[in-house]
Structure 1
Amino acid sequence: MDFSPRSQKIVSMLLESSDPVKEQALADALGLSKRTIQRELEAVDYGLRPYHLSLIRKKRVGVQIQGSVENKQALHKELKIDQDIDFTNIEERRRYLLLELLRDRTPQKLITFADRLGVSEATIASDLESLQDWLRQNHLEIIRRPGFGIVLEGKEVDYREAVNRFINENSEGFYSLDRFQRQELIEKSFSSPSHAGILSLLNKDTIIKVIDVLDAMDEPYFKRMTDNAYVALVIHIAISIDRIQKGGIAEPKKELNTDKKDLASLQLAKKIHKAMERAFQIQIPQVEISYLQVHIQGSKKDYSTSTMVDEYLNQVDDQQIQMVHRMIERFDSKYQYDLEQDDIFVRGLLIHLQPVLIRLQNHLNIFNPLLKDIQDQYPEVFAKCKEAAKVITEETGYEIQDEEIGYLAMHFGAALERLHEMKTYTRIVRIGVVCASGFGLARLMETNLRMILPDSVELVPLGTNDIDQASNIDFFVSSFDLNHPQLDSIRVNPLFTEDDISRIRKKIEEYSHVYKETSVQKGIGQMMNQIASTAISIKEMLANYRQFDLPADIHFDQLVEQLSKEMSGDAKAIAAKITSREKLSSQVIPELGICLLHCRTQSIQEPIVWVCQSSMGQFRHSSLSPSKAVVWMIAPEDEHIQIHLDVLGAISSAFVSSPAFLHTIQTGTKTTILMELERILQNYFYQIIDQKRRTA
């Protein structure tokens, strides 16, 4: 932005007026002479050109800025950002300078920055020198040429990576967007005053279009990427397209460091390349495919199943295995043996290491939103991981960023926690997680707790009718009062506040050291019967699946009445049970965007799972808002009731543990939802078999 503070005030006045403003009126308002205003207007006219605006000056009429409303609004927004920055603050001033260097790669004069920021040229020169170290980490350099000005020099790909890094470091939360709510959150991020200047490096429409294109591709590979890795891919593509449209072409490298065995990433890069060319109607150079492949290979992935882990580990070479063992030894030799016996840790570290090497070899940045928390809360682990990371430096020659070390600390820290739990004598504490049916909200709460509490805790979902018959339960957790004075219970928020978790952990500590007799293991015959009954329950559930498209303004009671009538059993009894449950506490879960309606009844013979979606994408009536889907789950009260509850509970748990499943429930067709249900229930069935085998 080439406006001095004085020019900025003139431009602001002109933008805020719908009519021409006379030069004398500008002079009077700003306390300047008319001649000074005339000189400033010449500079204003030049400064408006990059914004596709022009200055119209008519005698006896006045001065007016001419151009589209959109361009005027964009300029007005930038002016406001500049005016809000405290340029006396050295950090704010230097961050602004860095932003301007990245935003505009044309030569700039020191005097221009000095006038704009209200400081001396010497101060600007000192500020620019202080930015050199940051830029050199991305292989860029500020070059000063007498009579020409200052300019940012370096390769196009390094410039793009520097833009990516700047956004990482200065727009807190942007890279942590939930991929399934990304469009709403991106809109919010671009409208945030704290992000406005930073995100001016990006084109919002380009980002949203990139997301739409990737959505339409529906690639399974994307589902294996962590949320922040997926958002980073979106930003990488958006920056590339924006730069190509502005003439910034990436230079070919003789050889990029990629995993030659990973052909899937190359094929995906080619698909993305073609899809973006079609969507943006531009020709994207072939070299961009290689950079896309590097970015994909360097992204963090979510290996959530053992099959995916095994597939990956089959490709790991001996050098990486040796590197991991050396890192463990360097971390702390006294823990070396125990850590190397932790299969979860070693496999996880091996999986993490490959994309780290790709990122280092190709100078890719990574953002760790938890870095500060890790450094503050686990300083010793972080310091030891910094030492362990030197093994990677010794092997590759690359220095490791703190962001990468933070992710290593998460792996090592989790392993140390498991080791501590193993070496501390405790017994299993059984917690009853209570809701009306035992498989609705109780399962969601159970899933949340399972991700927080240690393996030494057994969580048992229970309905209110099961409490009296429940055996070997140490204490109960519920979102409403149980009204059982003789029971030890904690009332909690269904999504668990920090205070809730603290109280639960305290109870666990109390009970974990209290001796208690354990039950006798079950016979093989009974286990086989349970496995067979589980298979039948799953088969019936999938066979009975139905889907409904309902009006957006339907009321809770109307929906319950309509679905109850679709049941083969006593409609009034089922509706009464659902409505009674709603009175205990709302079954709408705003954080997940679903309404979970559930009960158990003797009037049906087979378990039911149905999904209702709104024709408008979201239910609007206050009794169901902001649900994007209503899930209807009914369990028959027969001899296999506990098995039905467990199977239905596995579905409830998946709403929390699998964002892909939740998104499909909210937006998918009958076919895609059935496919996801089959996947969830198949995984659950295999877990049951494995669990029975281990306890036999």
Structure 2
Amino acid sequence: MNNRMITILRELMASYSPLTGDYLANILNVSSRTIREDIKTLDYSLQSNGATIKSTRGTGYQLEIEDDHAFRSYLNQLIKDETNDKQLVDSPDARVNYLIKRFLLAEDYLKLDDLCEEMHISKSTIQSDLRQVRQALKKHDLSLDTRPNYGMKAKGSEVRFRFALSEFVFDRSESSSTSIWKEQLKTLADHDEDKLEAVSDAIMKQIRNHNISLSDIAINNLFIHIVIAYKRIKSGHHVSMIKQELNDITNEKEYHVARKIVEEAEDILNVKFPFVEVAYITIHLLGTRMVSQTNMDHTDIENVLEPHIQKLTVAILDEIENRMSLGIRHDQELFLGLGLHLKPSINRYKYGMNIRNPMLNDIKVNYPLAFESAVIAGIVIEGEIDVSIDENEIGYLALHIGAAIERKKAQDQPIRCYIVCASGLGSAQLIKYKIKAVFGSQVDILGTTEYYKIQQIPFHQTDVIISSVPIKDSLPIPVIEVNTILGEPDINRIRAFVDEDNTNLLEYIRRDFIYLNQGLSTKEEALTFLVDQLNKTIDLPKDYLDLIFEREAIAPTAYGNSVAIPHPVTAQTDQTFLTICTLKKPIEWTNQSVQFICLLNVAKNSQEDLQDMYQMLIKLIEQPKFIQKLIQCQDRDQFLQTLMTYQP
């Protein structure tokens, strides 16, 4: 099964309603005819595995599951097949990933002709793919060495090889089950699952015995790296480290824990780990160490966080407040959480360790403002300790900042309401306690009253009236009509008001800054076009385009569903507004396909709360069918009219 069919199957599984061929063709950047052929092949495969694809003229395609057990077995096999190196090499990204794995695992030089034959691709195609392979390896300080008549071979330090193997050879996303990556490890290490399980148990025993607190992800990473170490040692490769680094590491408590883990792994795997490997494992324990205590006073914090960590944390919070005005600068829990996170992280930065964040996409989508604040934090860290922070690390920083934003939101003023009921005090109290049970501190119930006393309500102090009787009078505040016994529809109406998003995207969109059906072919071309258009109307800083590319370099702004939201790394304009651009054909945007570009221009020194606008944008992105409607618009009026019909 090729990549397109897997994407089609995932889209059909995720949709409760039929998907049109045009929609699938758009997201895959192929013709409707190709989709029809893929659907036919996919349906044939599914019919013997508990499912079919129903096709209805004028409506689209829908997945129908007839045998849940058979279909689940089919999906499990499909996931296992995806982990096979020789699968899925029919797209540029898949080919690049395949080539990276081949070079990292190869003991000898690989010839170009052999790779072409192996992958069934032309020499010109593989030469294009190799440019991306080199770029990916360069991030790990690895290179491709070329020797005439021999071929190519990945070169670099053993430490860098380990990190690259961890990054590219295994699928450790949150959706991947533990059994899948253990299956991958079993194949690589040439060991049965029982021995790998014993290694995993040894790790758990030692970190428990020595009171070292690690996240589940950190334990998985450590386990994977030990198996990688075994594989490389058996092949005659060892980590090389300078003497001073070794001396620093052996003084740490984690070194002694690492030595215990390695001793047990040696017995289980029947291999001798060199002394330097123990130091290497120590780096992982240092890089993932966490302190779980959070209820500390100032003296406790000084004992836990070294002065340089405190100074760095203060610098980060100052810069975030200066640029974003979130009102979280003095959140003590945020200060401690960031500090405790940075303390072990600096070890990762120091040794150039990669870290995978399986929650990255969810963080970017659900906490966009926190993620942008974390980008600022990353810039501060890079400036203070001269390291490079990637978007995986930025995602973890965003979790701390997002929690602080939520705490701040919880402290904001609740919705003030009066309850109107004609059935007597008992009914009013029933409504009152139900609302308190569901909404808690989000709603402040000022009182209850009968309908005939409605004019006595202090309207200037009340945000909304919740009434179990129809109110025909014209009142200066909104009225939510409910049943005396609050059902789910009643709760949803109240929730819609409590969680109401007062921001309308149209407030930020100017008609003159909408550019539809543009024939642009690259990300660079599209961003240059948008900045050039803006420059014709408003005065932008001379380095505006550079600042946008600087932000892209930190973390790509493509959010999926054909949408990208680029913006400068810092606020630069006099007002906050959006610039919209749709494209005739999708373009590649850092491994994502993009056809809808929303350039976000944020006012400098702004005190406005951008959280609502970010949330509105993200809600829009999460509706791919509506995005496709906007992409199909032929003129600005049609685009604005379509946008006015948007219901989040």
TM superposition score normalised by structure 1? 0.46
Which of these two proteins has the greater Rg computed from alpha carbons? 1
TM superposition score normalised by structure 2? 0.49
